Homo-oligomer: A and B are copies of this chain.
Amino acid sequence: MKKPMADNCSRPNVPVNCQACPIRHLTICQPLQDENLGVVETFKIGDFVLPAGSLLYRQGEPGSRLYNLLDGWVVLHQVLRSGSHQILDFALPGRFLGYRPDLDGPLTHSAECLTDVSVCIFPQQHFHMLIERHPVLAVRLSQVVTQDLEVSYDRLANIGSRSTQAGIAHLLLDLCARLRDGPMSCGQVIEIPLNQNHIADALGCTSAYVSQMLKLLRKQRLLSFGNGQLQILDLKGLAEFADIEAPSADGRQNRRLLTPEISSTTQ
């Protein structure tokens, strides 16, 4: 049960040269021009590799670092007093981790590496000063956090409103879409380092039930999933099955927005 020590992590092995960062455009550093990369290069602590299973940070602890996830998967989860736990999100490369409104307060969830992971680490001390001095970073931070919020809202709908089968379909589709910006391809093998327990913990159900539902999805030839590999066999069918959001709330006219200037109707 005991997790590997949280403190083991290799010395920098990825060059601390941000210009060479292969996923710069996905991270919080995206808006920086080549010539401005120096501001994060001098601020950052360095790049590190952590083995699968180690913790980036733990719920309840103060936390002193912020992380650009450069490679690998990280799972965020929360433990309740009763001991039950909930997966909040799967963080993919580009994600910014460890930030909270009050950097002096404790973390409200834990982050555990699902795979070997490489991260670029910032000290959280003076981080607000950094982004205030470089407003494009602050704006970018707002944007990425808002993205995370939208994903979280999707998950809420997933657990709250969708059947478990639809939830599984939606979760897997969402992970695919976030892994590869761009259209999804059928038949292609996609590496998803999750087992049925992870899916169950994310969806708030049991792994036994996930197993049954996956069988259904397989039987309907919508996907195949196992051993960390996902193949989408019928994208359209799967999307339908996943009960995606209504494009527009209902069939109503889509044109007029809220226009407060044009007072009417009520008073």
Contact = CB atoms under 8 A, between A and B. Distances in A.
Given A6-B256, A11-B263, A84-B243, 4 more contacts: A6-B258, A7-B258, A101-B150, A152-B152
Tallying the copies of this chain within the complex gives: 2
A57 B254 CA distance: 11
A81 B132 contact: no
Interface in A124-179: 128, 131-133, 135-136, 138-139, 141-150, 152-157, 159-162
Interface of A: 4-11, 45-46, 48, 51, 55-65, 76, 78-89, 99-101, 108-110, 121, 128, 131-133, 135-136, 138-139, 141-150, 152-157, 159-162, 202-204, 240, 243-250, 254, 256-260, 262-267
Contact of A142 (B56, B138, B249): B138
Most buried by B among A5, A86, A144, A262: A86
A146 B99 contact: yes
Contacts of A128: 139
Given A57-B258, A245-B81, A159 B7 contact: no
Contacts of A65: 257-258, 260
B60 A254 contact: yes
Contacts of A99: 142, 146
Contact of A100 (B133, B146, B264): B146
